[in-house]
C-alpha cells in the first residue's frame, strides 16, 4: 500500500515530515511535543482574539457575582471606608481614567460601581482620545 500523503514542512519548525495517513491533509506539525504545544498556543491566541466579547461578558458576570456574595456580610456591620482600588474585597481593574468610586458606591452600590467601571472601559476602548493617546 503506497503512502498517499506527501512530505510537507512543519508549520512551526519548518522541518519536513511525513504526515500520518489517517490525518490526511489536517496534520500541520511534525509531531514533536514542542511544535504541537506551540500550534495549540497560537490557535488559542487566535480564538481568544476573535472572542474577546465572550471573555469581557464572563469577566463582568464574575465580578458581579463576587459583589453579590459579599453584600450580605457587609449589611450586618458598618461599611469600612472604601479605597479607590478595592470595593468590598472586589479588586477593580486598573484604568487610565479616574472615576469617583466613593460617590458611585454611595449612590449605586458596589455592584453599580463594577458595571459603570466596565462600561467606561468599553467606551474608552471604542473611542480613544486623540489628544492624549489613551486607548
Q: What are the tens digits of pLDDT across the range 45-78?
A: 999 889 887 777 777 788 888 877 766 555 544 4
Residue appearing with cell numbers 472586589 = 90
Q: What are the tens digits of pLDDT across the range 10-34?
A: 999 999 999 999 988 899 999 999 9
Q: What are the tens digits of pLDDT across the range 72-104?
A: 555 544 454 444 445 455 555 555 567 777 787
pLDDT of residue 76: 46
pLDDT of residue 104: 79
Cβ atoms 70, 88 nearer than 8 A: yes
Distance from C-alpha of 89 to C-alpha of 70, rounded to nearest angstrom: 8
Amino acid at each position: 500500500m503506497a503512502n498517499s500523503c506527501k512530505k510537507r514542512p512543519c508549520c512551526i519548525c519548518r522541518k519536513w515530515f511525513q504526515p500520518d495517513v489517517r490525518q490526511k491533509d489536517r496534520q500541520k506539525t511534525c509531531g514533536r511535543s514542542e511544535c504541537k504545544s506551540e500550534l495549540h498556543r497560537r490557535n488559542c491566541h487566535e480564538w481568544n482574539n476573535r472572542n474577546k466579547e465572550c471573555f469581557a461578558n464572563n469577566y463582568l458576570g464574575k465580578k458581579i457575582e463576587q459583589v453579590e456574595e459579599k453584600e450580605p456580610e457587609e449589611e450586618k456591620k458598618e461599611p469600612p471606608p472604601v479605597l479607590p482600588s478595592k470595593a468590598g474585597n472586589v479588586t477593580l481593574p486598573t484604568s487610565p481614567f479616574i472615576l469617583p468610586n466613593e460617590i458611585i458606591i454611595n449612590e449605586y452600590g458596589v455592584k453599580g460601581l463594577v458595571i459603570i467601571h466596565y462600561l467606561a472601559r468599553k467606551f474608552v476602548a471604542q473611542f480613544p482620545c486623540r489628544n492624549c493617546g489613551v486607548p
